[in-house]
Amino acid sequence: MSRYDRMARRGTRLLNRYYARRSRRQPGATAFVSQPEPRTIGSFARGRQLVAGNLLFAGYLVESPTTALWDVVAPDLAFDAERHGFAWLDDLAAVGDFRAREKAQLWVWGWIDTHGNGSGPGWSPDLTGRRVIRWINHALFLLAARTADQSEAFFGALSRQTWFLSRRWQGASPGLPRFEALTGLIYAGLALKGHEDQVDPALKALAEECASQIDEQGGLPTRNPEELLEVFTLLTWAAAALQDAGRGVPPAQLAAIERIAPTLRTLRHADGGLARFHGGGRGLEGRLDHALAASHVTTRHADGLAMGYARLSGRRTSVIIDASVPPKGRASWNGHASTLAFELTSGRRPLIVNCGSGETFGVEWRRAGRATPSHSTLCIEGHSSARLAPPERGSGHEIMTEAPDNVPLDLSDLEDGYRFQGGHNGYENHFGLTHARTLELAVDGRGLAGEDMLLALDTRNKRRFDKAMDAHSLGGIGFEIRLHLHPDVDAALDLGGAAVSMALKSGEIWVFRHDGTCELKLEPSVYLEKTRLKPRAAKQIVLSGRAMNYATRIRWTLSKAQETAVAVRDLNRDDPALTD
């Protein structure tokens, strides 16, 4: 990290600390303007784990049945950020019984005693905004059976955090962190007596963020679907709070909600989960559908891309494809080299996936998850279609560089299905090759036909290809097409290695076949989920070959076979011993 950036980050921390300590002098509110209603949704299962003393934050598990939350030594900065953000309060409220409320009250008033005076790492604009929203949402749950002194401490801490947000929201990074800070400030300004004058400036700033951060496709610069859902949820919460207070919602905020909702519908798989690209996960169960319903926006995205993604959908099958250039600059801190990768979900069961974000499992897993081989696409000689490099001024984050800058595509309807055609130039500099991919989904969703091509398109790239061939002693340029399978998929190579059969827990059978020009293997893979302690074991289909000429074509298919019950019936017909 450069000296300039070290000074800038130190300056930000000092400003946060200064205003956090100054917040002690601010008078405390005494009550809510109106009775707040909870809007956040938590996980009942995670809430039960917390009640039992199993603290799972940022991929780290700390077993602490009796130790207070704030006495636990944080194993990582991400662990600390997650506990100070108080999203876990949603999970305890989802349980909602006496033990869960007792635990929530112990931890909230423990934070007030330990950090409410302006100390600790939780006094950053984004974490404070996240925390204030949860405290207000679950105030009825938290204040039940509390004494007058405890209530006074609660409202005093809320007031101090609200004042801090009014002074430091600009210190939050553009994007989700700033949306969290501003939404927290709006929430508190509407809910707390004596803070009404802080709402209008926050609304003006929120409108500016909507205009600068939400593009015409209804997307974010990071192209992270889960992050887009979080921003959308914050905007709908703020809109609902304004309407409950009898105030209008700013036009820029409404316009942003109306742009985002159709995009999220495009990024929604058939099972209700989000496509997992560029650091994003599936989203909390039911969160996406709840947010879309709360927005009251029913329009769907027009034909074309949504935040750089294309969608093919037939009956109960959804295919979502990364069909644009990766994020750039600071927006690429969590970006992945996933151009032309796709995911496929059949009904309620994911089949083809990307490995996901390894952020919570350490630096090496994070880098591995960002690489092209961790996605369901083609890679050449194990290389990624984009590289990782330190940012120009250094910030502790690796940005994407040497990434594809040209991703032509075409979406069209067929008589019996839907077609995606796309390409990218991420391998031109090193190998002179363009990767082109065609995907055709049957109208009934029962079959996906794929074609991958490697092409040297012009004289300059043909020279690059020849040079790469010389470096490999004219033995060809190795490539692999990887299709990562969800951990719940039971896959096996058929006899002779000509196909792969995949059984879903729903009873469906899918079969992968290819044109015979490549070697087919079934290899280990991983499925990375932020809420788990370690990566889940999975499998991947690997189709490998070598490009010997200026044009190489590989064709393959994924097709749904008969349901398990039908297959068993047919087997029974063939074996008299198994029939009645």
Q: What is the pLDDT along the chain (580 residues), one digit of tens a residue?
A: 445 455 556 677 777 777 777 777 777 777 888 766 777 778 898 999 999 999 988 878 888 887 789 999 888 888 999 999 999 999 999 999 999 999 999 999 999 999 998 988 999 999 999 999 999 999 999 999 999 999 999 999 999 999 999 999 999 999 999 999 999 999 999 999 888 899 999 999 999 999 999 999 899 999 999 999 999 999 999 999 999 888 999 999 999 999 999 999 999 999 999 999 999 999 888 889 988 998 888 887 766 899 999 999 999 999 999 999 999 988 888 999 999 999 999 999 999 999 999 988 888 899 999 999 999 999 999 999 999 887 555 456 788 888 999 999 999 999 999 999 999 999 999 999 999 999 999 999 999 999 999 999 999 999 999 999 999 888 999 999 999 999 999 999 987 788 999 999 999 999 999 998 899 999 999 999 987 888 999 999 999 999 999 999 999 999 998 644 443 333 344 443 333 3
Task: Give the separation between CA 351 and CA 371, rounded to whole angstroms.
Answer: 20
Task: Give the separation between CA 116 and CA 24, rounded to whole angstroms.
Answer: 8
Q: Which of 320, 292, 295 is nearest to 308 (CA)?
A: 320
Element (H, E) at 566: helix 564-574
**Other C-beta atoms within 10 Å of 410: how many?**
11
190 neighbors 242 (Cβ within 8 angstroms): yes
Token pair belonging to 229: 């859902």
**Other C-beta atoms within 10 Å of 71: how many?**
10
Q: Which of 316, 344, 222 is nearest to 278 (CA)?
A: 222
Give every CB contact of residue 431 below 8 A, 6+ residues apart in sequence: 380, 381, 464, 465, 468, 477
For the chain, the distance separating the N- and C-terminal CA atoms, rounded to the nearest angstrom, is 74
- The domains of the chain are located at 12-210, 214-306, 341-560
Element (H, E) at 426: strand 417-427
Give every CB contact of residue 288 below 8 A, 6+ residues apart in sequence: 229, 264, 268, 272, 273, 274
| pLDDT of the residue at 16 | 77
Task: Give the separation between CA 214 and CA 512, rounded to whole angstroms.
Answer: 39
Q: Which of 158, 145, 225, 147 is nearest to 190 (CA)?
A: 158
The answer to whether the predicted template modeling score (pTM) of the entire model surpasses 0.85 is yes
445: phi then psi, degrees, rounded to nearest 5: 75, 10
Q: Which of 370, 372, 375, 144 is nearest to 279 (CA)?
A: 370
CATH value of 341-560 in 3.40.640.10, 2.130.10.10, 2.70.98.70, 3.20.20.70: 2.70.98.70
Q: Which of 403, 406, 331 is nearest to 372 (CA)?
A: 403
Q: Residue 480: helix, strand or coil by DSSP?
A: strand
